[in-house]
Structure 1
Amino acid sequence: MANFARTDRVGQQMQREIAQLVRLEINDPRVKLVTITGVEVAGDYSHAKIFFTRLDGKQAEAQEGLDRAAGFLRSRLARSIKLRIMPQLHFVFDSSVERGSHLSQLIDKAVASDFNLDDNT
């Protein structure tokens, strides 16, 4: 049986709640294509890093929209998640999805070039 820290469970719950709030309740067009990829909560629950990605490359625009909505999101989270201290929300762009996509394209190119070399011999 896996032994998860309470901060991990709180982070997972926050991720689900924030993703739903962003999708359903924030009308800012800068935030519409945002995907919440993870949440790291500090051990004392004072701060939470919310990792997000946006595949259309407008991460600075999304960052501004999320930073502007942070107070609203924090107040809505306080209603749905019962914690003594609701963490301050800090949004961080998660470039791992883009990096993974780029590496996948490089691998596909390498495999295609190997295939073309095999066909020529």
Structure 2
Amino acid sequence: MAREFGRNARVSSQMQKELASIFQRDVRDARLGFITINEVVVTKDLASAKIYVTVLNVDEQGKRDNVKRLNELSPIIRHELAKRMRLRHISELRFFYDDSFDTGMRVAELLRD
């Protein structure tokens, strides 16, 4: 009988939960806005993870600055993630801005008009 979710999906899901907790409790950087983790995509060999985030209440430059700052903080975040997850190797973290929220808001605005 095949498993419903593969290992990648389980690791991605757990990583998303742990990262949300890390951002909520442990990352204290005044330069970062309110960050939401939308999706975590882990490669098949678990070597790297693409983390798609949304930053609320900032302009385009603020979004780019937040993603740049997250990528600078990725070794610290990765270290904290390694403490929380029971994996032999923790994936390299790369942060990307997910514009699906902005697109959805734009579509909702167009439909309202």
The alignment's TM-score, normalised by the length of structure 2, stands at 0.89
Partner of 1:106: 110
Alignment of 1:69-108 (within 5 A): 69-108=73-112
Partner of 1:55: 56
Q: Deviations over 1:60-105 (max 9, x none)?
A: 1211221121011111111111112210000010000000000000
Q: Higher strand fraction: Structure 1 or Structure 2? A: 2
1:23 and 1:32 map into 2 onto residues whose CA distance is 11
1:80 and 1:39 map into 2 onto residues whose CA distance is 16
1:62 and 1:42 map into 2 onto residues whose CA distance is 24
Equivalent pairs counted in the alignment come to: 109
Q: Higher helix fraction: Structure 1 or Structure 2? A: 1
Identical-pair percentage: 31
1:87 and 1:68 map into 2 onto residues whose CA distance is 15
2:105 and 2:33 map into 1 onto residues whose CA distance is 21
2:31 and 2:64 map into 1 onto residues whose CA distance is 9
Q: Partner amino acid for 2:46?
A: Y
Unaligned runs of 5+ in 1: 110-121
Larger of the two Rg values belongs to structure: 1
Unaligned runs of 5+ in 2: none
1:60 and 1:30 map into 2 onto residues whose CA distance is 12
By how many angstroms is 1:31 displaced? 2.2
Partner of 1:38: 39
**4+ long deviations beyond 4 Å:** none
